[in-house]
Amino acid sequence: MLLIRLTNLTNLKVLDLSGNSISLSVTWLGLHKLKNLEALDLSFNNINGTVESQGICELKNLFELNLARNNIGGDLPDCLNNLTRLKVLDTSFNQLSGSLPSVIVNLTSLEYLDLSNGYFEGIFPISSLANHSKLKVLLLSTRNNNMLQLKTENFLPTFQLKVLRLPVCNLKVIPNFLVHQHELKYLDLSHNNLAGDFPTWILQNNTKLEVLCLTNNSFTGNLQLPHSKHDFLHHLDVSSNNFTGKLPQDMGIILQKLLYIDMANNRFEGDLPSSIREMKTLSFLHLSKNNFSRELSALFTVGKLRMGC
pTM (whole model) above 0.75: yes
Burial 24-39 (b: 16+ CB within 10 A, else e): eebeebbbebbeebbb
End-to-end CA distance of the chain: 56
User: How do strand 218-221 and strand 242-245 relate by DSSP bridges?
Assistant: parallel
- Cα angle 150-155-157, degrees, rounded to a multiple of 5: 95
Digit-coded pLDDT (tens) for 103-153: 888 899 999 999 999 998 888 889 999 999 999 999 999 887 778 888 888
Whether 221 maps to a domain, the answer reads yes
C-alpha span between 169 and 171 (Å, rounded): 5
Does the pLDDT at position 218 exceed 60?
A: yes
Does the pLDDT at position 3 exceed 50?
A: no
Whether 116 maps to a domain, the answer reads no
Total number of domains in the chain: 1
DSSP 118-166: EEE-EEEEGGGGTT-TT--EEEEEESSTTTEEEE------S---SEEE-
Whether 120 maps to a domain, the answer reads no
Contact indicator for 245, 271 with CB cutoff of 8 Å:
no
Whether 53 maps to a domain, the answer reads no
C-alpha span between 39 and 62 (Å, rounded): 6
Digit-coded pLDDT (tens) for 56-84: 999 999 999 999 999 999 998 889 988 99
Distances (CA, A) of 51 to 138, 253, 278: 20, 50, 52
Going by C-alpha positions, the residue among 89, 193, 86, 173 that lies closest to residue 139 is 89
Whether 183 maps to a domain, the answer reads no
Whether 213 maps to a domain, the answer reads yes
Q: What are the residue ranges of helices labelled H in the chain?
A: 2-8, 103-106, 200-205, 251-254
Going by C-alpha positions, the residue among 66, 30, 67 that lies closest to residue 48 is 67
Kindly report the average pLDDT of the chain as a whole number.
Answer: 90
Q: Which residues, 6+ apart, have CB-to-CB distance to 158 below 8 Å?
A: 130, 131, 132, 133
Distance of CA 229 to the CA centre of its chain: 25
Q: How many Cβ atoms are within 10 Å of 94's Cβ, its own excluded?
A: 23
C-alpha span between 112 and 80 (Å, rounded): 15
List the domain range (segments joined by +) for residue 216.
194-309
Q: What is the pLDDT of residue 148?
A: 85
Q: What is the pLDDT of residue 305?
A: 53
Q: What is the pLDDT of residue 293?
A: 82
Digit-coded pLDDT (tens) for 224-272: 999 999 999 999 999 999 999 999 999 999 999 999 999 999 999 999 9
Whether 302 maps to a domain, the answer reads yes
Does the pLDDT at position 298 exceed 60?
A: no
Q: What is the pLDDT of residue 300?
A: 56
Going by C-alpha positions, the residue among 202, 219, 308 that lies closest to residue 262 is 308
Does the pLDDT at position 46 exceed 60?
A: yes
Whether 111 maps to a domain, the answer reads no
214: Cα within 13 Å, side-chain hemisphere: 26
Q: What is the CATH number of the domain that holds 272?
A: 3.80.10.10
Contact indicator for 209, 232 with CB cutoff of 8 Å:
yes
C-alpha span between 233 and 203 (Å, rounded): 9
Q: Which of 95-104, 165-174, 227-236, 266-275 has the lowest mean pLDDT?
A: 95-104
Does the pLDDT at position 5 exceed 70?
A: no
